Amino acid sequence: MKQINETEQKGMPLLGDDFPEMVVQTTRGELNLPLDYKGKWFVLFSHPADFTPVCTTEFIAFQQRYDKFKALNCELIGLSVDQVFAHIKWEEWIKENMDVDIKFPIIADTGKVAETLGIIHPGKGTNTVRAVFIVDSNSKIRIILYYPQELGRNIDEILRVVKAMQISDKNKVAMPANWPNNEILKDRVIIPPATDVKISKERLKNAKKGVFKCEDWWFCHKKLK
């Protein structure tokens, strides 16, 4: 397993890239990423610092939905540039004061991981931005989200996009805005646009047969079984 080397020049990871290989220390012991989660999805999310109010609300929200993520074969991993004992004490504070037991690992980063992922907050010292990397079961980065320090994340949205991407992959479909509560299509999914004249005509024929519904040849949708 190739570990992060401070002298290596790495560009920021992009959508579709393999998640960078790294060995990290966490509150649940050492992890080899992405190897230890091969065959699973995972959400790696960074926070600016331990013992801060917005981050505390986020961790509680993630934990309260942890079972829902696991039901999607998806793990959670936190990260900040803090030492492991700070993470542990923060977890203890959350348990003692908020009655929430954080059960997912938190990476204790020296700064190498944050630099590799390009998530050091400009002008904020060593603080990391509120970044989210959603990685699929083939270790590919599928979604990257960034938030400022002042804004806490919507954890239900992160859960939604994991579910949506898995359904998209399985069924070779696209997901409308606000799926599964789209204002027009509700929970229906979009069939990829036709790529030639023949397919476009077949789409309209199939629509007449009730196989799916088309607003036009380029805008067809169906309800998943």
Name the active-site residue from 55, 74, 214, 220: 55
CA angle 39, 166, 113 (to 5 degrees): 55
Phi and psi at residue 91, in whole multiples of 5°? -55, -45
Report d(CA 72, CA 150) in Å as an integer: 29
Nearest one of 183, 179, 162, 202 to 220, comparing CA atoms: 202
Q: Which amino acid does the sequence have at 184? A: I
Measured CA distances, 162 to 43, 122, 130, 152 (Å): 9, 28, 18, 18
Q: Based on the residue annotation, tell me whether 74 is a catalytic residue of this protein.
A: no
Nearest one of 92, 99, 62, 100 to 79, comparing CA atoms: 62
Catalytic residues: 55
